[in-house]
Amino acid sequence: MDTKHTDRRTFLKSSLSTAAIAAAPLVLTARKGEAAQAGAAPVQPAAEPRITFAAIGLNHGHVNGQCQALMRAGGQLVSFYAKEPDLAAAFGKAFPNAKLAASEQAILEDKTIQLVTSAAIASERAPLGIRVMRAGKDFLSDKPAMTTLAQLAEVRKVQAETKRIYSVMYSERHENRATVRAGELVQAGAIGKVIQTVGLGPHREIQGAPRPDWFYRKEQYGGILTDIASHQFDQFLFFTNSTEARIVASQVGNLHHPDKPGLEDFGDCMIRGNGGTGYIRVDWFTPKGLATWGDGRLTVLGTDGFIEIRKNIDIASAHEGGSHLYLVDQKETKYIDCKDAPLPFAGKLIDDVLNRTETAMPQKHTFLAMQLALEAEASAQRLGPSLDSARR
């Protein structure tokens, strides 16, 4: 008996048996902030503490999602620090059981703290992560985890020396339930061998309050391919199972924000790996008429079918919320509502902290995703407002 194919059929049958097309009228509800990837499912209470962790650098709201993910998986948030009093005060209200530390150094010297998470200004994350690792702790960064290739080289060096974990919360994969389910389906052979991924990451520039000044300084945020597209590079590597890759072509530009010369509002890239090819497009052009911050999508093309993920909204159907997955194979087209799919990343990361393993995300993968984003940004042709002025 062919147990391999039997196991595959059993897995696919159980995965698809819950798929159904919703018939309710379309109700659009905007999500607040960009860290709401997991928001479609009910809020889960914190698990029993397995490790203690702290937060340093609260400049992006993503840090809240990072802390919540760790707490769901058994992380106990014990302290935090930010040099900005207003950010510290807001974080303290959101996490009243955590204590405001007197300084960053107080957290680094606390031997009871095993992991530090951060969403500091992007250009400050790598130097902080290096200090964390040298203090004997593991590190979970918001994306992008660094903003220059020089920073990446230094992080790689220190990580190899200290053997600490330097991880990145690529939330479009780790905290999006449809993307997690898609990974399970691909690994089960649902669409055959993956050939290509197409990742689209549109964003809205203004969401209520204006963005801080550092968001418009390229030396601080790193450029649009470094920043937003790091998500898409991570997904490309994961779904194509590529361990090596190179940039074929990339381009970036400020096409519609002349009053913000440091902003890149558009970028795209072609990539080739040893497991498949990919195309990436990211931008800051989500219109106000969309009821969420961006219609993020991922298409995974295989030899026997394809999967399309609509991460935050499904504008072409009556399906509410996010985390929508469409699977097309040689027999039929299926819709899968993934709102109840588990999110294993944070739990696996805590396992890795405790067991010194790499089950959440291999360290080489973490660094390669950022390397590709940084290389794409560094080699990108520049687009002007007329779209015909590409130049080095």
- pLDDT tens digits for range 203-251: 999 877 889 999 999 999 999 999 999 999 999 999 999 999 999 999 9
pLDDT tens string 241-284: 999 999 999 999 999 999 999 999 999 999 999 999 999 999 99
Instruction: Provide the total of helices (H) and of strands (E) in the chain, helices listed first.
Output: 13, 15
367, pLDDT greater than 90:
yes
pLDDT tens string 41-84: 444 566 689 999 999 999 999 999 999 999 999 999 999 999 99
Q: What is the DSSP secondary structure assignment for residue 380, as one 8-state letter? A: P
Residue 147 and residue 220 in contact, taking contact as beta carbons nearer than 8 Å: yes
Q: How confident is the model at residue 192 (pLDDT cuts 50, 70, 90)?
A: very high
Q: Do the bridges between strand 324-328 and strand 305-310 make them parallel or antiparallel, or are there none, so unpaired?
A: antiparallel
Q: Which of 301, 107, 121, 41 is nearest to 196 (CA)?
A: 301
340, pLDDT greater than 60:
yes
Q: Which fold has domain 51-169?
A: Rossmann fold (3.40.50)
381, pLDDT greater than 50:
yes
Residue 163 and residue 278 in contact, taking contact as beta carbons nearer than 8 Å: no
- DSSP letters, 36-84, are -TTTTSPPPPPPPP-EEEEEE---STHHHHHHHHHHHTTEEEEEEE-SS
- DSSP letters, 239-282, are HHT-S-EEEEEEEEE-SS-TT-TT---EEEEEEEESS-EEEEEE
Describe the strand order of the beta sheet including 115-118 as a list of residue ranges. Answer: 99-100, 75-81, 51-56, 115-118, 138-142, 166-169
Residue 56 and residue 118 in contact, taking contact as beta carbons nearer than 8 Å: yes
What is the pLDDT, as a whole number, of residue 44? 52
Residue 68 structure tokens? 């919540």
What is the pLDDT, as a whole number, of residue 29? 27
Q: What average pLDDT does range 128-140 have in this prediction? A: 98
What is the pLDDT, as a whole number, of residue 149? 98
Q: Do the bridges between strand 75-81 and strand 99-100 make them parallel or antiparallel, or are there none, so unpaired?
A: parallel
Q: What is the DSSP secondary structure assignment for residue 311, as one 8-state letter? A: -
- 269 CB contacts (<8 Å, ≥6 apart)? 225, 229, 247, 248, 249, 250, 251, 279, 280, 281, 376, 380
CB crowding 190-215: b at 16 or more within 10 Å, else e: bbeebbbbbbbbbbbbebeeeeeebb
One-letter amino acid at 78 equals V
Run of H or E including 126: helix 122-134
Run of H or E including 292: none
Q: Which of 102, 44, 109, 55 is nearest to 77 (CA)?
A: 55
2, pLDDT greater than 50:
no
How far apart are alpha carbons 186 and 342 in whole angstroms?
16
What is the pLDDT, as a whole number, of residue 388? 55
Residue 219 structure tokens? 């030396």
What's the chain's average pLDDT? Answer: 89
Q: Which residue has the higher pLDDT, 179 or 318?
A: 179
Rounded to the nearest 5°, which phi and psi values hold at 158?
-70, -35
17, pLDDT greater than 90:
no
Q: Which of 141, 143, 142, 77 is nearest to 110 (CA)?
A: 77
Residue 80 and residue 63 in contact, taking contact as beta carbons nearer than 8 Å: no
- DSSP letters, 160-226, are HHH---EEEE-HHHHT-HHHHHHHHHHHTTTTSSEEEEEEEEE--S-BSBPPPGGGG-HHHH--HHH
Q: What percent of the chain has pLDDT over 90?
A: 83
359, pLDDT greater than 70:
yes
300, pLDDT greater than 70:
yes
What is the pLDDT, as a whole number, of residue 319? 92
What is the pLDDT, as a whole number, of residue 210? 87
Residue 341 and residue 181 in contact, taking contact as beta carbons nearer than 8 Å: yes
Q: How confident is the model at residue 90 (pLDDT cuts 50, 70, 90)?
A: very high
What is the pLDDT, as a whole number, of residue 48? 81
Residue 22 structure tokens? 């919703």
What is the pLDDT, as a whole number, of residue 384? 86
What is the pLDDT, as a whole number, of residue 40? 37
Q: 269: which strand partners?
A: 250, 280
Q: What is the DSSP secondary structure assignment for residue 391, as one 8-state letter? A: B
CA–CA distance from 180 to each of 37, 184, 325 (Å)?
Answer: 11, 7, 10
What is the pLDDT, as a whole number, of residue 207? 75
CA–CA distance from 361 to each of 28, 90, 198, 372, 375 (Å)?
Answer: 34, 31, 21, 16, 21
Least confident of 19-28, 51-60, 171-180, 185-194: 19-28
Q: How confident is the model at residue 20 (pLDDT cuts 50, 70, 90)?
A: very low
Residue ranges of the domains in the chain?
Answer: 51-169
